[in-house]
């Protein structure tokens, strides 16, 4: 290479390198935007310090249940345990984040992802608040008890501690229409819960057994988290909901308030002026 061509080669090499980096960046951004649930960091963006995790709609097992067209919308109809767990990990990886708020607007859903959310909040090294705005019911409340503090809005609905397997049976309608259920399964209980057949007494007993076991587990988790006896929680575990004021008197939440109440709690925990507590929205 002679001296006259050296600058040209250097410029060409630099352009090629920049193009490769640009293409890689587009590829990364494409994968990020196609699956926002998998990458939320950074959260603080230099101006806020309390991560707000929206737990909205149905509590579901995996993000495919919660997403439409591969995106998390501004008002999702469902939230998965995986998504919440990733969000918490991303918040903990952001040095600008000092605390986490699980903002709950959920009437419940599946128990396992609710428990996953609960454990993720419980394990977090950052101070955590569950802020129940509209409703924190069933598995939505199960998620909430993993936080260090539960704050509910004055008009929020709280509780609904219990388990349901209820469904609509179609067997009589099928009979009227001349349709007959043909059972082809490897075990007598394999088709239990199929809405196109009547539930037998043995199948009902099987469901009752499982519902009792899961309900007892739910009660134990609430009792341990809230510092209540299992008999106290058991008396509340009739599946009913209650207003925030009643939930406070029963020990299911810690405070009634709003976002200012949330900020004030973090100010005390972090020993900072409340003006320095900024929620990430």
Same-domain pairing of 133 and 213 = yes
E strands, the chain, where?
50-60, 78-80, 99-109, 128-137, 149-152, 157-159, 241-243, 255-256
Q: What is the pTM of this model?
A: 0.80
Instruction: Tell me which residue has tokens 């008396």.
Output: 235
Rounded to 10 degrees, the C-alpha dihedral 125/131/137/140 comes to -30
In a domain, 9, yes or no: yes
Same-domain pairing of 241 and 180 = yes
Return the pLDDT at 274: 96
Same-domain pairing of 60 and 18 = no
Same-domain pairing of 28 and 68 = no
Q: Distance between CA atoms of 45 and 67, rounded to whole angstroms?
A: 25
* Mean pLDDT value across the chain: 85
The answer to whether 18 touches 67, Cβ cutoff 8 Å, is no
Q: Is 265 exposed, middle or buried (0-12, 13-18, 19+ CB in 10 A)?
A: buried
Instruction: Tell me which residue has tokens 């004030």.
Output: 264
Give me 273's structure tokens: 């002026």
Same-domain pairing of 4 and 93 = no
In a domain, 125, yes or no: yes
Considering the chain, what percentage of its residues have pLDDT values greater than 70?
A: 80
In a domain, 176, yes or no: yes
Residue 99, beta-bridge partner list: 50
In a domain, 174, yes or no: yes
Domain residues for 30? 1-34
| CATH code of the domain covering residue 263 | 3.90.226.10
Same-domain pairing of 114 and 27 = no
In a domain, 163, yes or no: yes
Same-domain pairing of 28 and 87 = no
In a domain, 281, yes or no: no
Same-domain pairing of 23 and 150 = no
Return the pLDDT at 68: 39
Highest mean pLDDT among 69-83, 90-104, 172-186: 90-104
Return the pLDDT at 281: 84
Backbone conformation region of residue 159, classed left if phi is above 0, alpha if psi is from -120 to 50, else beta:
left
Instruction: Tell me which residue has tokens 């390198």.
Output: 17
Same-domain pairing of 26 and 122 = no
Q: Distance between CA atoms of 4 and 185, rounded to whole angstroms?
A: 81
Number of domains in the chain: 2
Q: Give the residue with greater pLDDT, 148 vs 33.
A: 148
| Closest C-alpha among 165, 160, 162 to residue 215 | 162
In a domain, 60, yes or no: yes
Q: Give the residue with greater pLDDT, 1 vs 61.
A: 61
Backbone angles phi, psi at 90, to 5 degrees: -65, -40
Q: Distance between CA atoms of 212 and 141, rounded to whole angstroms?
A: 19
Same-domain pairing of 129 and 223 = yes
Q: Distance between CA atoms of 47 and 144, rounded to whole angstroms?
A: 26
Same-domain pairing of 2 and 93 = no
Same-domain pairing of 178 and 235 = yes
Sequence-distant (≥ 6) Cβ neighbours of residue 70 within 8 angstroms: 34, 35
Q: Is the predicted pLDDT of residue 218 greater than 70, yes or no?
A: yes
Sequence-distant (≥ 6) Cβ neighbours of residue 268 within 8 angstroms: none
> Each residue of 159-203: pLDDT tens digit?
999 999 998 988 888 889 898 989 889 988 998 888 988 899 998
Count of alpha carbons within 13 Å of 124, Cβ hemisphere only? 31
Q: Is 145 exposed, middle or buried (0-12, 13-18, 19+ CB in 10 A)?
A: buried
In a domain, 192, yes or no: yes
Return the pLDDT at 76: 53
């Amino acid at each position: 290479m002679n001296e006259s061509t050296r600058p040209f080669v250097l410029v060409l090499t630099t352009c090629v390198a920049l193009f490769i980096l640009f293409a890689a960046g587009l590829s990364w951004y494409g994968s990020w935007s196609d699956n926002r649930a998998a990458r939320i960091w950074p959260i603080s963006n230099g101006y806020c310090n309390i991560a707000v995790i929206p737990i909205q709609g149905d509590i579901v097992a995996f993000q495919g249940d919660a997403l439409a067209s591969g995106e998390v919308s501004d008002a999702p109809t469902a939230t998965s345990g995986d998504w919440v767990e990733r969000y918490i990990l991303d918040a903990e990886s952001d040095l600008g984040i000092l605390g986490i708020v699980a903002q709950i607007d959920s009437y419940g859903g599946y128990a396992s992802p609710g428990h996953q959310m609960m454990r993720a909040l419980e394990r977090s090294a950052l101070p955590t608040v569950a802020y129940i705005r509209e409703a924190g019911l069933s598995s939505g409340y199960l998620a909430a008890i993993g936080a260090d503090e539960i704050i509910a809005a004055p008009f929020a609905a709280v509780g609904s501690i219990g388990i349901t397997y209820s469904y609509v049976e179609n067997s009589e309608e099928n009979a009227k229409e001349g349709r007959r259920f043909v059972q082809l399964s490897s075990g007598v209980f394999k088709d239990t819960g199929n809405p196109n057949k009547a539930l037998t007494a043995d199948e009902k007993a099987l469901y009752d057994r499982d519902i009792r076991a899961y309900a007892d587990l739910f009660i134990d988790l609430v009792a341990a988290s809230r510092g209540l006896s299992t008999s106290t929680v058991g008396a509340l575990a009739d599946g009913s909901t209650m207003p925030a004021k009643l939930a406070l008197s029963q020990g299911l939440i810690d405070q009634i308030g709003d976002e200012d109440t949330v900020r004030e709690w973090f100010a005390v925990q972090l020993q900072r002026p409340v003006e320095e507590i900024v929620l990430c929205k």
